[in-house]
Amino acid sequence: RMVEDQSIQHLISWAPSGDVFSVSNPTEFSKSVLPQYFKHNNWQSFVRQLNMYGFHKVNDMFHANPSSESQAWEFKHPDFRRGQLLALQNIKRKSSKP
């Protein structure tokens, strides 16, 4: 729902391909969006949770200015695609068991 929310498209949105979503300004996103959907406003916690559910960061920060707060972060999961709600049931938290 968060990625589909038209009122926050300037902060989180689908890539044109529909298989990647991006957060354009993590600092502003953390302050104004995270508290609406989670019990925190911590960007690193959000990223950690995405990783626990199998999402991967896809954009290359190597060429970016690491201090840039406006650097977009892009994430991808094979079962997280625009308009494919049935695939969401395949997104599960990674088990800590070997």
What pLDDT digit, counting tens, does each position of 32-55 carry?
999 999 999 999 999 999 999 999
Q: Residue 93 CB: number of other CB atoms within 10 A?
A: 9
Which residue spans within the chain are E strands per DSSP?
12-14, 21-23, 56-57, 73-76
Residues in the chain: 98
12 beta partners: 23
Ordered by start, the domain boundaries in the chain are 2-90
- Alpha-carbon gap, residue 10 to 84, rounded angstroms: 22
Structurally, what CATH architecture does the domain formed by 2-90 represent? Answer: Orthogonal Bundle (1.10)
pTM for the model stands at 0.83
Q: 52-73, pLDDT tens digit by residue?
A: 999 999 976 555 555 555 578 9
Q: Which residues pair with 73 in a beta bridge?
A: 23
Rounded distance between C-alpha atoms, residue 49 and residue 71, angstroms: 20
